[in-house]
Homo-oligomer: A and B are copies of this chain.
Amino acid sequence: MARNVEFDEQLAVSKAMDVFWRKGYNGTTMRDLTEAMGINSSSLYNTIGDKHELFIRSIKHYTESRMKAAIKQLEPIKSPIKAIEKFILSSVYVITNEPNSCLAIKTTFEVATTDEQVQKIIKADNDFTYNLLNGLVERAIEKEEIKVSQDASMLTDYIINHFSGWHESFIIHHDKARIKNMATFLIKQLNQ
């Protein structure tokens, strides 16, 4: 029959994701993308689709990678409260060491309000984190590792809620200590 597609789609999407991550959806041009992906726009339109479709794939790639990483990281930890602490502290590490702040949060504030497809992906990502953490919180309350509140679902929201503020703070102040101190305080609150 005929020749095969030459480029690695996963790799291409991952490179596109990097550009969207730095520049946002509206700040990224098709030429930014094709250049970073090392691919001609005709090939891009023939395989993946238009700019919007590429963005959808990019944020899906981002959220799915994060989900896998979170599961892999927390699975071996036996104590629920230890797993929660690990989750919080590794978030702090990512926030204070990665070059860009979270693509999901940036996307939420830039386009989630007006783009239904994006909104769904972001919500799915959020629900995943919620469920993962909520399981841990419920077990931690059962085991009396957490005594501060009996309301697991509120507490789960409460913990997750800190992350975007930490991102915001780090963009504005570039001060790791501020984030670490807040995280330490949050963990201390949970432990009492």
Contact = CB atoms under 8 A, between A and B. Distances in A.
Main SS class of interface, A: helix
A72 interface: no
A4 interface: no
Nearest to A26: B26
A4 to B, nearest CB: 37
Contacts of A110: 24, 27, 106, 109-110
Interface residues of A, number: 43
Contacts of A149: 185
Contact of A106 (B109, B119, B167, B182): B109
Nearest to A125: B172
Contacts of A100: 113
A3 interface: no
Given A160-B165, A161-B162, A163-B165, A112 B172 contact: yes
A91 interface: no
A105 interface: yes
Interface string A77-91: 000000000000000
A122 interface: yes
Interface string A160-174: 111111111101110
A100 B112 CA distance: 12
Given A148-B189, A158-B185, A161-B162, 16 more contacts: A101-B113, A105-B109, A106-B110, A108-B168, A109-B171, A112-B171, A119-B172, A151-B181, A154-B178, A154-B182, A155-B185, A157-B182, A160-B165, A161-B166, A161-B168, A164-B165
Interface of A: 24, 26-27, 100-101, 105-106, 108-113, 119, 122-123, 126, 148-149, 151, 154-155, 157-158, 160-169, 171-173, 178, 181-182, 185-186, 189
